[in-house]
């Protein structure tokens, strides 16, 4: 086994992230989520452990599916209260030199024009260490509270997301040419106006005629993360993502996912080997197996049955509160995370509500590995070897203890085996991850928008052709057509 194993830290700007009830543990600091010192201390620990980055999840809305209310979500601090993730980028960057910072933001709740400015600003402030986790959102409560009435259907949200990223690619890649900013004091010219272009976007969901407000950031388009697990989600990830997160509870599910996503990426004309896939995992590690198992049992004593089902109900869109603890899960159609239901109802075993709540009580949907550094290292190597996954998105049971244990116990064991990095690569986050340049490669769809004037000419020609008698009218070219 010689493949490098990669780690991301999975966290959220809230209290109860993936392990509801564990906030009550005496060593847990997640209640300090609102203090910058918590985040800067954690970031330093992760950088000492050579983590690729900290991946900060987010939701807009609250979990009110379980028993038809948000009572248990609020009582158990199940991702409420929750603060904005993007504001953490700058302090984390100031406290570290290399750690990547992945920020979750939804294509459903913010206009792409204003979001583009926020993301470029973060990429500037971090000197190119920011990534964007592209999500379409799954909570009905979020849609209701911004006046949308309710969520769009699952597949339709990805149609919106496709146009959303098209707008961002035009702004990031095409609006400002390389060399537009000259800062010529003698000539009193900061920017050459002829090298800054309106993007002229007029699509089905968005109309953005003008210029990007920011000069190009170190990466132009920040590193693109995506966690789609449903059919449309995987297709979107294969088309756009550079780093993919999945929450497969078994090796067989993970292997099937990795194989499929790489196949789809290659079919889209991308280099499938340049796609990094991380599986959601919780590691509980200590000096010996016995100590680790004792720690795991201690953690389990703090889990919350209701809190666990709050999350699982919200993620699936199914009110699991309507079932008795001994009832088996039934497969039903859902407009939330379709893959959650597919996993549990169509997996290798039947699950009762009680089993599901206990299993989901620590770490969410991914597996939990418990043991000594040697035991856990063997497990991780086996998963990488058997599935082809690149690394693990590590959730915590108790924070920052879970991350400190990985850094202090597990990382040295993996380094000793020669399967974990001992230092960071130089440069931006994209350069650290892929060992190439700071920009997206030419075979990525975003590259098709770098000559924005050519894109606009093609759009005008298509509009003219579509307007001719007998021809259907299409207001905008597809992303694939422009990129190709």
> Which range is least confidently modeled, 49-63, 137-151, 301-315, 389-403?
137-151
Of the two residues 201 and 311, the one the predictor is more confident about is 201
- Tokens found for residue 460: 């005008």
Listed in order, strand segments (DSSP E) in 189-259 are 189-191, 201-202, 207-208, 223-226, 243-246
Per-domain boundaries in the chain: 6-302+365-439, 448-483
For residues 40 and 448, give the distance between their C-alpha atoms in angstroms, rounded to a whole number. Answer: 38
477, pLDDT greater than 60: no
> CA angle, corner 424, sides to 124 and 254, nearest 5?
95
Q: Which strand (E) or helix (H) includes residue 430?
A: helix 429-434
Q: What percent of the chain has pLDDT over 70?
A: 88
**131 near 243, Cβ under 8 Å?**
yes
| Mean of pLDDT over the chain | 89
Here the tokens at position 408 are: 């202090």
Residue 466 binned pLDDT confidence (cut-offs 50, 70, 90) = confident
Which ranges of 336-410 does DSSP label H, i.e. alpha helix? 338-345, 353-360, 373-387, 401-405
Taking the C-alpha atoms of residue 134 and residue 319, their distance in angstroms, rounded to an integer, is 26
Separation CA 155–CA 226 (nearest Å): 15
Q: Provide CATH code, domain 6-302+365-439.
A: 3.20.20.30
SS3 category, 205: coil
In 236-305, at which residue ranges do the beta strands (DSSP E only) sit? 243-246, 276-285
Indicate the pTM of the whole model.
Answer: 0.89
pLDDT single digits (tens) 189-202: 999 999 999 999 99
389 dihedral zone (left: phi>0; alpha: psi -120 to 50; beta): beta
Instruction: Quote the tokens at residue 258.
Output: 């990795």
């Amino acid at each position: 086994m010689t493949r490098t194993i990669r780690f991301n830290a999975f966290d959220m700007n809230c209290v109860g992230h993936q392990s509801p009830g564990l906030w009550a543990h005496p060593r847990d600091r997640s209640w300090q989520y609102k203090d910058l010192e918590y985040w800067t201390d954690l970031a330093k620990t992760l950088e000492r452990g050579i983590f690729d980055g900290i991946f900060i999840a987010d939701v807009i809305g609250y979990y009110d599916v379980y028993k038809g209310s948000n009572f248990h979500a609020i009582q158990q601090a199940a991702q409420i209260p929750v603060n904005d993730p993007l504001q953490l980028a700058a302090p984390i960057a100031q406290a570290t030199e290399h750690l990547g910072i992945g920020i979750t933001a939804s294509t459903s709740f913010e206009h792409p024009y204003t979001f583009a400015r926020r993301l470029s600003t973060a990429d500037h402030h971090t000197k190119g260490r920011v990534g964007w986790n592209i999500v379409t959102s799954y909570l009905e409560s979020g849609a209701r509270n911004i006046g949308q009435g309710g969520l769009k259907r699952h597949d339709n949200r990805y149609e919106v997301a496709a146009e959303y990223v098209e707008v961002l690619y035009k702004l990031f890649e095409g609006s400002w040419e390389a060399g537009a900013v000259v800062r010529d004091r003698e000539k009193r010219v900061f920017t050459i106006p002829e090298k800054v272009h309106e993007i002229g976007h007029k699509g089905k969901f968005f109309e953005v005629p003008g210029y990007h407000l920011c000069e190009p950031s170190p990466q132009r388009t920040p590193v693109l993360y995506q966690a789609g697990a449903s059919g449309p989600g995987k297709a979107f990830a294969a088309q756009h993502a550079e780093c993919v997160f999945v929450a497969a509870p078994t090796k067989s599910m993970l292997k099937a996912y990795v194989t499929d996503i790489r196949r789809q990426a290659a079919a889209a004309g991308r280099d499938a080997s340049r796609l990094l896939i991380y599986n959601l995992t919780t590691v509980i590690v200590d000096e010996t197996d016995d100590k680790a198992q004792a720690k795991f049992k201690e953690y389990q004593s703090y889990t919350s049955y209701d809190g666990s089902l709050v999350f699982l109900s919200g993620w699936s869109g199914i009110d699991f509160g309507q079932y008795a603890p001994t009832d088996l899960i039934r497969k039903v159609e859902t407009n939330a995370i379709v893959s959650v239901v597919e996993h549990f109802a169509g997996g290798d075993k039947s699950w009762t509500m009680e089993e599901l709540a206990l299993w989901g009580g620590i770490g969410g949907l991914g597996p939990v590995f418990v043991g000594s550094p040697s035991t856990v290292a063997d497990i991780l190597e086996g998963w990488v070897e058997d599935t082809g996954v690149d690394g693990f998105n590590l959730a915590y049971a108790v924070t920052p203890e879970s991350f400190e244990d990985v850094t202090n116990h597990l990382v040295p064991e993996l380094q000793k085996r020669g399967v974990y990095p001992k230092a960071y690569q130089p440069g931006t986050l994209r350069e650290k991850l892929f060992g190439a340049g700071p920009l997206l490669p030419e075979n990525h769809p975003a590259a098709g928008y770098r000559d924005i004037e050519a894109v606009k000419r093609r759009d005008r020609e298509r509009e003219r052709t579509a307007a001719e008698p007998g021809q259907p009218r299409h207001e905008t070219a597809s992303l694939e057509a422009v990129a190709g």
